[in-house]
Structure 1
């Protein structure tokens, strides 16, 4: 596999993203980011985390109220935190006065990259236009984990994907205080509206027939039906895994790799 340096036209990418159909997983992640941000805001206002006993506490939690918030990706129903005294007021809506295109791009990048702390920092800073502390981002990350897991493990039975594109990119990742090379498997499917969706991604240490087969089985376990055609590069192990896991499916070599 070749290692790629990718250059993107962000104006073109923004237009493509904001005009495309965003799936429920992306909306769910957007809602989680906003809700987590407001929750962290309330923690800072109270000077105490949930269930924490603190002499510095200035107020107490008092549930939430629902508020609709419209972005380019659609209308989101948010849970806005309240306090007992009513003195807390989120700054999120006031600060979010810029175009939401940067936020949409950050969300897409976050999903593809597994939502690292650095990516969440970028999202929050695009969201609010100001720098945030590591502890603040960590509190947001804790609340995002369930949404990321939900996106990566979501059922694929809602749509039939007759065409599948698969590839691996090699990335440098931190692992036990070392920087190592890892393969990121990505599967994209073409849906009934002829639009591509990211169906799954997985980080693995080595690219092989066994690891590709395992990746395909995970997609099938989530409800992926037999595709008509799979497009990929000519990696021998990948080709064998496609033939093994999708018998009868046609294979086509990617012209870009060729």
Structure 2
């Protein structure tokens, strides 16, 4: 690497230190250093000092041009040396452009992590001493569009996903001068390497059979094969779409949602033992034990008229809630509920709350996609979370 030795104008630097605040001192120092660095770099390029006559000279000096440049401490004004041919280009801007990139990436990271556009502009102003408009921050986030789109449309035919989890959450979007509710469909999976993966998401109108069917068709068009099991809540449209699009796939009703539906039908008081006996059914290790505990639950409480509705829900949904027993035992804890997907939704919700109302569908797709990509990257770094069967 080329080495330069040069002298700074210490008197000018001293005046800056004595008569300015610390921000001005830092800026002045950077200007002095970079201007001197570019000057020496031009000398090295020309192979001749100023007014020096030499056979090795490559070009001639041609003055300077001013350039404003925003770095991490704010905007500075530099004197950029040039040559007569115009072929000389200081390496400063190329080398230090990483500072600008880092600033842009930091701004994007703040947005993805739930910092509002207004707060981002305030933070940048405090750090750099320069005002950044909200529209500028918004334009920067648009750089995420092709990245998110590529990730959301990546092929799924390189792996097999035996277990898929599906759920929807709702957001507010401005559409035709009105604030409307939109559904965000998210699908995660456990892949053949025993790792979790976010395999798809989509923003559409209210949760319905047609919307879920379109979502699953998109996943299949990207190469998704029919899984062994799809885990979800009991939304009728979702369940019907699973049956139509994944022939031969079993549907596992989320046991957490199922128990919650049953408990909601219980009287508010005096149900401690009933709740405990209900949970006992789904804590069973073997399917035979689960059925035995279910039968004992009915024998104990079927004569209680206050429990009629709860017993009916248990009877009608029991088989759908124990489909996970047909899978290897080491998977049972992970495939009987949509808990992981619920936590994922909470992470999205935490960032979405800062926005409150998305200006359009594209901005919602951009932010939610970026958040999911970030969470996916963190998850990919982890080792497989399911031990192989002994």
- Which TM-score tier does this pair reach, normalised by the shorter chain? 0.5 to 0.7
**2:195 aligned partner:** 195
Give the alignment of 1:9-48 within 5 angstroms.
45=69
Q: Provide the secondary structure at the position in 2 that maps to 1:256.
A: helix
In proportion to residue count, which structure has more helix? 2
In proportion to residue count, which structure has more strand? 1
Q: Distance in 2 between matches of 1:173 and 1:150?
A: 23
Q: Alpha-carbon deviation of 1:166? A: 0.1
The partner residue of 2:90 within 85, 89, 92 is: 85
Using a 3 Å threshold, how does the CA distance of structure 1 residues 229 and 148 change in structure 2: closer, same or farther?
A: same
- Structure 1 residue runs of 5 or longer lacking an equivalent are 1-43, 47-57, 60-82, 111-116
Q: Provide the secondary structure at the position in 2 that maps to 1:207.
A: coil
CA deviation profile, 1:2-40 (whole Å, cap 9, x unmatched)? xxxxxxxxxxxxxxxxxxxxxxxxxxxxxxxxxxxxxxx
Q: Distance in 2 between matches of 1:146 and 1:198?
A: 18
Q: Provide the secondary structure at the position in 2 that maps to 1:231.
A: strand
Instruction: Indicate if the aligned counterparts of 1:229 and 1:252 stay in contact, CA closer than 8 A.
Output: yes
Q: Distance in 1 between matches of 2:211 and 2:147?
A: 25
**2:140 aligned partner:** 140
Instruction: Indicate if the aligned counterparts of 1:121 and 1:137 stay in contact, CA closer than 8 A.
Output: no
**1:230 aligned partner:** 230
**2:253 aligned partner:** 253
CA deviation profile, 1:178-209 (whole Å, cap 9, x unmatched)? 22111111100111232221111111112111
**2:152 aligned partner:** 152
Instruction: Indicate if the aligned counterparts of 2:184 and 2:203 stay in contact, CA closer than 8 A.
Output: yes
Higher Cα radius of gyration:
2
Instruction: Indicate if the aligned counterparts of 1:184 and 1:204 stay in contact, CA closer than 8 A.
Output: yes
Q: Provide the secondary structure at the position in 2 that maps to 1:203.
A: strand
- Between the two proteins, the alignment pairs up a number of residues equal to 169
**1:164 aligned partner:** 164
**2:208 aligned partner:** 208
Q: Alpha-carbon deviation of 1:140? A: 1.9
Q: Distance in 1 between matches of 2:204 and 2:102?
A: 42
Q: Distance in 2 between matches of 1:120 and 1:239?
A: 42
Q: Distance in 2 between matches of 1:232 and 1:243?
A: 12
Instruction: Indicate if the aligned counterparts of 2:117 and 2:137 stay in contact, CA closer than 8 A.
Output: no
Q: Distance in 2 between matches of 1:160 and 1:247?
A: 16
Using a 3 Å threshold, how does the CA distance of structure 1 residues 132 and 193 change in structure 2: closer, same or farther?
A: farther
Using a 3 Å threshold, how does the CA distance of structure 1 residues 230 and 94 change in structure 2: closer, same or farther?
A: closer
CA deviation profile, 1:75-109 (whole Å, cap 9, x unmatched)? xxxxxxxx94334223258879xxx9xx5x975x6
Superposition TM-score, scaled by structure 1 size: 0.54
Q: Provide the secondary structure at the position in 1 that maps to 2:155.
A: coil
Superposition TM-score, scaled by structure 2 size: 0.37
Using a 3 Å threshold, how does the CA distance of structure 1 residues 138 and 119 change in structure 2: closer, same or farther?
A: closer
- Structure 2 residue runs of 5 or longer lacking an equivalent are 1-67, 71-78, 81-87, 259-390
Give the alignment of 1:107-146 within 5 angstroms.
118=116, 132-146=132-146
Q: RMSD over aligned Cα, in angstroms? A: 4.0
Q: Distance in 1 between matches of 2:160 and 2:127?
A: 40
Instruction: Indicate if the aligned counterparts of 2:171 and 2:181 stay in contact, CA closer than 8 A.
Output: yes
Q: Alpha-carbon deviation of 1:216? A: 0.3
Give the alignment of 1:1-16 within 5 angstroms.
none
Q: Alpha-carbon deviation of 1:145? A: 1.5
Instruction: Indicate if the aligned counterparts of 1:120 and 1:141 stay in contact, CA closer than 8 A.
Output: no
Instruction: Indicate if the aligned counterparts of 1:95 and 1:129 stay in contact, CA closer than 8 A.
Output: no
